[in-house]
Amino acid sequence: SKSTVYRICDEFDAEGKTHRKHHKVRADKKRSPRFVAELKKTIDENLTTPIAKLAKRSIKRAIRVDLGYLSSVRSPKQLITEDNKAKKDDTKTSAKSKKSSVKA
């Protein structure tokens, strides 16, 4: 807004210099020193590997290993124990027997 611009201009006229907020390095940056070192090691092992293939592998590694993410397609499924399987089978057989007794 205009008031902010005027305030900054007044401060500049009074002091003769502008002040900016100091930059803070992100804690979750992707290109950490460890990541860069591993990438350099991978490149030095085989110089004939195409960059596209290398990028795909390194980003995949960063996502899965560094960030701990899995594919978004996967979802946690309910654990079916042997007892639950038996109950499920009993429910199916009892439902079939009820249908057959209704038809007769």
Asked if the structure places residue 21 within a domain, the reply is no
What local confidence, expressed as pLDDT, does residue 15 receive? 78
Least confident of 3-12, 14-23, 38-47, 79-88: 14-23
- State the chain's mean pLDDT as an integer: 76
- Domain coverage including residue 47: 28-72
Q: Is the pLDDT of residue 97 over 80?
A: no
Asked if the structure places residue 65 within a domain, the reply is yes
What local confidence, expressed as pLDDT, does residue 101 receive? 67
Q: Is the pLDDT of residue 104 over 60?
A: no
pLDDT in tens, 33-83: 887 788 788 878 888 878 778 778 777 777 777 667 666 555 667 777 888
SS3 assignment for 51-86: HHHHHHHHHHHHHHHHCCCCCCCCCCCCCCCHHHHH
Structural domain tally of the chain?
1
Asked if the structure places residue 85 within a domain, the reply is no
